[in-house]
Amino acid sequence: MDSAKNILKKNTMVFVLILVTLFFTWMTGGKMLLPQNVNNLIAQNAYVFILAAGMLLCILTGGNIDLSVGSIVCFVGAIGGMLMVKGGWNIFAAILIMIIVGLAIGAWQGFWIAYVRIPPFIVTLAGMFVFRGLSNVVLEGMTIAPMPDNYLNLFNSYIPDVFGGNPAFNLTSMVIGILGCVIYVAVVIRGRLSRARKGYEMEKLSGVIVKCTVICFALLAFTFRLAQYKGIPTVLIWVGAVIAIYAYITSKTTIGRYFYAVGGNEKATKLSGINTNRVYFIAYINMAFLAAVAGMVTIARLNSANPTAGTNYEMDAIGSCFIGGASAYGGIGTIPGVVIGAILMGVINLGMSIMGVDANYQKVVKGLVLLAAVIFDVVSKREGNK
Amino acid sequence: MNNILLEMKNITKTFPGVKALDNVNLKVEKGEIHALVGENGAGKSTLMNVLSGIYPYGSYEGDIIFDGETCKFSHIKNSEDKGIVIIHQELALIPYMSIGENMFLGNERGAKAAIDWNETYGKADGLLRTVGLKESSRTLIKDIGVGKQQLVEIAKALAKNAKLLILDEPTASLNESDSKALLDLLLEFKKKGMTSIIISHKLNEISYVADKITVIRDGSTIETLDKKADDISEVRIIKGMVGRELSDRFPKRENKNIGDIKMEVSNWSVYHPLYTERKVVDNVSMNVRKGEVVGISGLMGAGRTELAMSIFGKSYGTNISGTLKLNGQEVKLNSVKDAIDKKLAYVTEDRKGNGLILSNPIKINTTLANLQGVSNNFIIDKDKEYQVAVEYKEKLKTKCPTVEQNVGNLSGGNQQKVLLSKWMFADPDILILDEPTRGIDVGAKYEIYCIINNLVAEGKSVIMISSELPEVLGMCDRIYIMNEGKIAGELSGEEASQELIMTYILKSGKGE
């Protein structure tokens, strides 16, 4: 059947994710899907989702990566930590400074990349050294802890249960899950109705129903598990917001389209009246902005700022993008794909940790998964072109 | 007695879902120039890929007999060892390597690992003389023009001891005089006993050099014409290619309505972006009226594209001087966006490199130059985008299953139509079409001409840059002739002729 094959091809990574999850659930005797582990999946990988959203934009412009994000995460966290812990600043003022620092770093790197056309690899490699070094300078090589409580509440806590009551089951979390499903289904139905009214081509109804069911089921199961633990982690709100905003930007807006166009054919894009320099600049300033956000999340999660935080974070973000189907040549890739890629990496990490696999072997497996994903992508595309 | 060098018997090659070649037969005699003609997508390139082993033995049906032996090539190297060398349409030279290095790439002179540079350059120089090129073989490829690069490709083929030379569209990017030189070189080789197969869309060239012409249509051999026995005029060849006689290659324009001057350029000069002392466009003045098709004719490298692109929001060159008037008012266009806002469009000659995003669908390409036209406040209305793409697909008769199809999978003619759709959707008043029919087949050309006629009928102005003289003569109301950055002359459509245009070019060249 042709359509079944197509569905499989389009959603390969979703099926891989399901299989991998089942595999680890089986290997760990069900521990994988315990409420606390589901919660950990989010808490431990929040930074990956945030960074991967930004990294996707860089990769879209032509397979360009940003190597400096791990160091920026550390540097921004260091500044925030110093201000809040040593300086006793108000947390919102500190957050504002962290964002400004992120944007300034992005503007610095973006300027060289976009307007002077220094290869991104070089500029961000330099940034990787510079900001790692500066983090050490700012922290004087020490770890700063603990973070203020109200700061932790913002990034490393749980949404309080407004319905009160049962401590074993967080009703708010479940309600949010159900609400999410209802809104999702409503949006899909509205889209279909408007298309039908205007007489446009529509997807097959059966396919849409299956897709809706799967997404709603996943969402409900997920929030159910969270409800059984402590409810929705606050960091999930931040991650969710970043994903939603960037999914919207990349799929629906003109600037989002420009990222794809530049990656597809920069000369043609330029001759279509689009300022391609600005597109590069936005990609890198945005990347550093999201790195700053990830920095906030990271110091909250670690409850400290230390000079080695954020090491190799860029690799996790880049890996998620490529596993999630972004093209190493640019122009192809979606936020939902990247999210799947990030979850897959997270599941593999978590699963192996629970199984007690040696950390070094975990790296080996992660590396092989990344390679396999890209090989698969390249080979399947070659077949498609034949 | 048996004088057949190559025989391809009953070649059938299928791709998933498509029969690209269906029982094709080709016989090439020793020492002849055999032309292969057919519309785009007819299967010429596929046939040559089968012959050269790019599609290995076993992936097709039928036999290849070369020099009396049945061949089973599994790799391009196998066919080259036999002396079958193919020169592809897109030149495969490495810009930052010297001519000599390029010529012996993969075929290095010297001992196993160490390259003998003296032998390399010595042999290369010898071969360059054979093809009539006076450059030193140590010159870098990037420093010589396209015409010379094509000759280097031929020298490279000779370095491989070619017995059969296959040239795929060798003159596609060459101007008339370079083309002529290349064709004469082929005739020269023929005298020395070399056998060649030439694939070309330029029928006048084929009539000039070919001894035999095999016509392929829709994956089958239609006929083989012999210069000695048959009529090989262009009309006759076209009849074979399209299966009917194209009585008129240029559609007639009814009730011309040429209005006021729409755009006027005066004293326009442009310098090269890298070699800033080199003047590429020199004091050019020209204009175009409403509802008029103005041609810019000239040799490759005359500065036509550079003129057009520098007008189009300074997208080429530095130190641009001169005035540009639109509807009588002087304007400054500092970016492509300015130019589009002032209702200018430039449809590039290089549709793959500068025009289209090949990995994206038709609909995304169609709206790229005017995304605002399908969006509200930076948010794209995808339904509207789809609708626009379908509308232009139907208007221009683009052949494609859906507008979701990637542009890279379309034929040249259809890609050109998508490119035109993109610029028509940007709603310009003045369209600069740079080589709008390059590399596309006769039938699609006719359709492009019809589109141009419709545009001017709607009151738009068209500037058509073309290296094909018949096309300029057939389509334009007025023709400027450019040479070496200057306007060498201006002719009205009625008085112009190929001879007159060439005379202008030659005259201005001597004046230097």
B353/A254 Cβ within 8 A: no
Give yes or no for residue B510 having a pLDDT over 80.
no
Higher-pLDDT residue of B420 and B238 is B420
Give yes or no for residue B134 having a pLDDT over 70.
yes
Among the partner-chain residues A253, A265, A275, the one whose CB lies closest to the CB of B378 is A253
8 A C-beta contact, residue B327 and residue B459: no
Query: Which residue is it, tokens 């790229």?
Result: B368
Q: Does A31 touch chain B (CB under 8 A)?
A: no
Q: Does A252 touch chain B (CB under 8 A)?
A: yes
Which region among A6-10, B146-150, B396-400, B429-433 has the lowest average model confidence (pLDDT)?
A6-10
Q: Does B337 touch chain A (CB under 8 A)?
A: yes
Give pLDDT, residue B511: 45
A108 vs chain B: nearest CA distance in angstroms? 25
Is B471 within the bounds of a domain?
A: yes
Give pLDDT, residue B512: 39
Q: Does B69 lie in the same domain as B179?
A: yes
A273/B369 Cβ within 8 A: yes
Q: Does B208 lie in the same domain as B284?
A: no
| Average of per-residue pLDDT across B181-190 | 89
Q: Does A267 touch chain B (CB under 8 A)?
A: yes
Is B320 within the bounds of a domain?
A: yes
Query: Which residue is it, tokens 């000239």?
Result: B298
A-B CB pairs within 8 A amount to 83
Residue B193 CB coordination number (10 Å): 9
Is B507 within the bounds of a domain?
A: yes
Among the partner-chain residues A253, A275, A332, the one whose CB lies closest to the CB of B359 is A332
A268/B380 Cβ within 8 A: no
For residue B426, give the chain A residue with the closest CA. Answer: A272
Q: Which of residues 328-357 of A touch B (CB under 8 A)?
A: 331-332
Give yes or no for residue B356 having a pLDDT over 80.
yes
Q: Which stretch of DSSP H or E encloses residue B5?
A: strand B4-15
Condensed to tens digits (0 to 9), the pLDDT of residues B40-74 reads 667 888 888 889 888 888 888 888 998 888 888 88
The complex's ipTM works out to 0.82
Q: Does B44 lie in the same domain as B65?
A: yes
Among the partner-chain residues B15, B364, B383, the one whose CB lies closest to the CB of A198 is B383
Q: Does B378 touch chain A (CB under 8 A)?
A: yes
B369 vs chain A: nearest CA distance in angstroms? 4
Give pLDDT, residue B324: 94
Please report residues of B whose CB lies closer than 8 A to that of A194.
Answer: 383
CA atoms within 13 A on the CB side of A102: 29
| Best of A2, A192, A272, A278 to mutate (most B CBs within 10 Å, chain B) | A272
- In Å, what is the CA distance from A365 to each residue of A15, A52, A360? 19, 20, 9
Among the partner-chain residues B339, B357, B383, the one whose CB lies closest to the CB of A264 is B357
Is B90 within the bounds of a domain?
A: no
With cut-offs at 50, 70 and 90, classify the pLDDT of residue B291: very high
Q: Does B175 touch chain A (CB under 8 A)?
A: no
Give yes or no for residue B77 having a pLDDT over 50.
yes
Is B89 within the bounds of a domain?
A: no
Among the partner-chain residues A195, A255, A268, the one whose CB lies closest to the CB of B354 is A268
Give pLDDT, residue B246: 54
- Of B161, B191, B207, the last residue of a domain is B161
Q: Does B171 lie in the same domain as B71?
A: yes
8 A C-beta contact, residue B89 and residue B172: yes
User: Looking at this protein, which amino acid is placed at residue B378?
Assistant: F
Condensed to tens digits (0 to 9), the pLDDT of residues B10-29 reads 999 887 656 778 889 999 99
Beta bridge partners of residue B14, listed in sequence order: B19
Cα–Cα distance measured from residue B448 to residue B455, given in angstroms and rounded to the nearest whole number: 11
Q: Beta-strand (E) ranges in B72-114?
A: 84-87
* pLDDT tens-digit profile, chain A (386 residues): 456 666 777 778 888 888 899 999 998 888 888 888 888 888 889 999 999 999 999 999 998 999 999 999 999 999 999 999 999 999 999 999 999 999 999 999 999 999 999 999 999 999 999 999 999 999 999 999 899 999 998 998 888 877 776 777 888 888 889 999 999 999 888 888 887 887 766 777 888 888 889 889 988 998 888 888 888 899 999 999 999 999 999 999 999 999 999 999 999 999 999 999 999 999 999 999 999 999 999 999 999 999 999 999 999 999 999 999 898 888 989 999 999 999 999 999 899 989 988 988 988 988 898 898 888 777 776 665 44
Cα–Cα distance measured from residue B493 to residue A41, given in angstroms and rounded to the nearest whole number: 74
DSSP 8-class letter at A31:
G
Query: Which residue is it, tokens 């290089």?
Result: B350
With cut-offs at 50, 70 and 90, classify the pLDDT of residue B247: low
Q: Which domain holds residue B206?
A: 1-83+162-247
- Of B427, B455, B470, the last residue of a domain is B427
Give pLDDT, residue B116: 85
| Average of per-residue pLDDT across B358-374 | 92
Q: Does B284 lie in the same domain as B214?
A: no
Q: Does B407 touch chain A (CB under 8 A)?
A: no
The pair of three-digit structure tokens given for residue A297, joined into one six-digit string: 């999340």
Q: Beta-strand (E) ranges in B336-471?
A: 344-347, 375-376, 379-380, 430-434, 461-465
DSSP 8-class letter at A146:
P
- In Å, what is the CA distance from A15 to each residue of A10, A218, A338, A368? 10, 13, 15, 18
8 A C-beta contact, residue B313 and residue B335: yes
Is B88 within the bounds of a domain?
A: no
B326-332 LR contacts (CB < 8 Å, sep 24+): B326/B262, B326/B263, B326/B430, B327/B260, B327/B262, B328/B260, B328/B261, B328/B264
Give yes or no for residue B121 having a pLDDT over 80.
yes
Q: Does B122 lie in the same domain as B28?
A: no
Number of compact structural domains in chain B? 4
- pTM equals 0.80
Give pLDDT, residue B231: 80
Domains recognised in chain A with CATH numbers: 34-139+146-157+233-381 (1.10.3470)
- The pLDDT mean for chain B works out to 86
- Of B400, B427, B454, the last residue of a domain is B427
With cut-offs at 50, 70 and 90, classify the pLDDT of residue B1: very low
Q: Does B177 lie in the same domain as B325?
A: no
- In Å, what is the CA distance from B421 to each residue of A267, B136, B347, B393, B444? 18, 45, 10, 8, 15
A275/B358 Cβ within 8 A: no
Q: Does B168 lie in the same domain as B181?
A: yes
Give the domain CATH number at B464. 3.40.50.300
Q: Does B92 touch chain A (CB under 8 A)?
A: no
| Average of per-residue pLDDT across B76-92 | 84
DSSP 8-class letter at B371:
G
For residue A330, give the chain B residue with the closest CA. Answer: B359
Give pLDDT, residue B157: 87
- φ and ψ of B390, to 5 deg: -65, -40
Q: Does B56 lie in the same domain as B155?
A: no
Cα–Cα distance measured from residue B262 to residue B294, given in angstroms and rounded to the nearest whole number: 12
Q: Does B361 touch chain A (CB under 8 A)?
A: no
Higher-pLDDT residue of A204 and B343 is B343
Q: Does B178 lie in the same domain as B66?
A: yes
Higher-pLDDT residue of B108 and A319 is A319
Q: Does B72 lie in the same domain as B117?
A: no
| Best of A192, A194, A265 to mutate (most B CBs within 10 Å, chain B) | A265
Q: Does B467 lie in the same domain as B501?
A: yes
Q: Which residues contact A259 (CB under 8 A, 6 or more apart)?
A: A57, A60, A61, A250, A279, A283
Which has the closest alpha carbon to A153: A82, A234, A230, A99? A234
Which has the closest alpha carbon to A240: A50, A77, A70? A50
Cα–Cα distance measured from residue B222 to residue A229, given in angstroms and rounded to the nearest whole number: 76
